[in-house]
Amino acid sequence: MNNLRITEIFYSLQGETNTVGLPTVFIRLTGCPLRCLYCDTTYAFKGGENKTIDQILSNVSDYQPQYVTVTGGEPLAQKNCLPLLTALCNQGYQVSLETSGAVDVSEVDPRVIKIVDLKTPASGELEKNLYSNINFLNSHDQVKFVICDENDYEWAKKMIHDYKLTKRCEVLFSPSHQVMPNQKLADWILRDRLPIRFQIQLHKYIWGDVPGK
């Protein structure tokens, strides 16, 4: 069976990544093996509804989107995420995958834009990072760091240096919402002349912490 457990499928503005602000269909898969301390989608850990890939494609097509994001939870925790990603690409959508980086990405369709969230020390899940995933990053992919404090920031800088991340793909620094002051992080980036993209979670500034937005 090609079923997946789906928490929600919704249409909104992309709140992060380099397509921020663009109308996007989000497919949120249920379940996650991580428990990051700042997680804002704990409602996706359990529950959801079983859907076939064909049903998901039908739901997505109702919105006539150009952009589709598969997210979670941790979407790659479900084995049928891989054929779903390929099916979405075959429909002609620009497809992105938001993954924790704790699950192998080597078999993800190369047409998919991978947004790999490397877990910082303050996430509480640092040891879950699967650093071999970095070898499978393409130039159109993105690595995201959620920054909670200065220790996170210095650790992220070290990862950029050690793995030459900015030569592999785009790097994103995101202040942990209501934890890391936006201006302070922006000032650090400018001070250190980091060649990375600063981002905030746009959707939270529009709709607040509302699921499905």
Reading the chain (213 residues) residue by residue, the pLDDT tens digits are 789 999 999 999 999 999 999 999 999 999 999 999 999 899 999 999 999 999 999 999 999 999 999 999 999 999 999 999 999 999 999 999 999 989 999 999 999 999 999 999 999 999 999 999 999 999 999 999 999 999 999 999 999 999 999 999 999 999 998 899 999 999 999 999 999 999 999 988 888 877 766
Q: Is the Cβ–Cβ distance between 80 and 4 less than 8 Å?
A: yes
Q: Which pLDDT score, from 0 to 100, does residue 109 have?
A: 98
| 182 located within any domain | yes
Q: Is 26 among the domain residues?
A: yes
Does residue 185 form part of some domain? yes
What distance in Å separates the CA atoms of residue 61 and residue 11, rounded to the nearest whole number? Answer: 11
Say if pTM beats, i.e. exceeds, 0.85.
yes
Does residue 197 form part of some domain? Answer: yes
- For residue 212, being part of any structural domain is answered with no
CB count within 10 Å of CB 132 equals 10
- The CATH number that applies at residue 181 is 3.20.20.70
Please give the pLDDT value at position 212. 67
- Structurally, how many domains does the chain consist of? 1
Q: In this structure, is residue 213 part of a structural domain?
A: no
Domain that holds residue 179: 3-207
